[in-house]
Amino acid sequence: MKADAYAEALVQVARAEGQLGAVEDDLFRLARTYEGSDELRMALSDPQLPVERRIAVIEELMGNKALGTSTALASMLVAAGQSSDLPAIIDRFVELAAAERQHEVAEVRTAIPLDEAQTQRLAEALGKATGKNVEVKVVVDPSVLGGIVARVGDTVIDGSIRHRLDQLKELI
């Protein structure tokens, strides 16, 4: 699969630069931003827009909020025509980077940001529930309303208020 090859290349570059963890965080945020923005997806995938302009969009978006290595890797994916596969490539990259640390990635969606202590407690609880070393990546998603939705591999734990409301609607 093409996403695997790109993801492996990203891991190798980030590892060689000694920045695997930080690049992982930067690219994870980019992938979630891409998924949440129709405007960004359209801009990066528009074949009418010159590649230089699409790369400039990445540079403007990531700017001084990300490492130069992260911005360069994201720009490389866009230049290679992989914009539409950006989330899949980055998600695979995150999995490979976590596996290198012998961790499993838990994508946790919450209505509000979590502090470091909450994230750590959540990682421990998910680790106990799944029997794995879990590393939590938090995505703030107001549609959750409250509670959390956690995905660890193929396992989804939905403790959100949105889920509970949907369950109540089914009972009525």
**Do 88 and 109 belong together in one domain?**
no
**How far apart are the C-alpha atoms of 97 and 26, rounded to whole Å?**
13
Residue 79 has pLDDT above 80, yes or no: yes
- The CATH number linked to 93 is 1.10.520.20
Contact 161, 146 (CB under 8 A): yes
Show the domain range for 150.
103-171
Q: What is the pLDDT of residues 56-77, one digit of tens each?
A: 999 999 988 899 999 999 999 9
Say if residue 88 is in the same domain as residue 16.
Answer: yes
Task: Report the pLDDT averaged over residues 100-122.
Answer: 88
Backbone φ and ψ of 137, nearest 5°: -115, 120
Among 48, 65, 98, which residue terminates a domain?
A: 98
**AA letter at 85:** D
In the chain, how many domains are there?
2
pLDDT at 1: 63
Statement: residue 82 has pLDDT above 70? yes
pLDDT at 143: 84
Q: Is pLDDT above 70 for 135?
A: yes
Query: Are both 17 and 77 inside the same structural domain?
Result: yes
Same domain, 70 and 27: yes
Taking CA atoms, 166 is separated from 94, 145, 156, 158, 160, in Å, by 31, 12, 16, 12, 10
Q: What percent of the chain has pLDDT over 90?
A: 55
Instruction: Say yes or no: 122 and 63 in one domain.
Output: no
Shared-domain flag, residues 45 and 122: no
7 and 59 co-located in one domain: yes
Verify that 69 and 119 share a domain, yes or no. Answer: no
Residue 37's contacts (CB-CB under 8 Å, 6 or more residues apart) are none
Identify the domain boundary among 98, 126, 160.
Answer: 98
Residue 163 and residue 172: Cα distance in Å, rounded? Answer: 15
Mean pLDDT score of the chain, rounded to an integer?
89
- The model carries a pTM of 0.74
Quick count: other Cβ atoms within 10 Å of Cβ 94?
Answer: 23
pLDDT at residue 157 in the model: 84
Least confidently predicted of 11-15, 74-78, 109-113, 166-170: 166-170
Q: What digits encode the pLDDT tens for the residues 153-172? A: 778 888 888 777 787 788 87
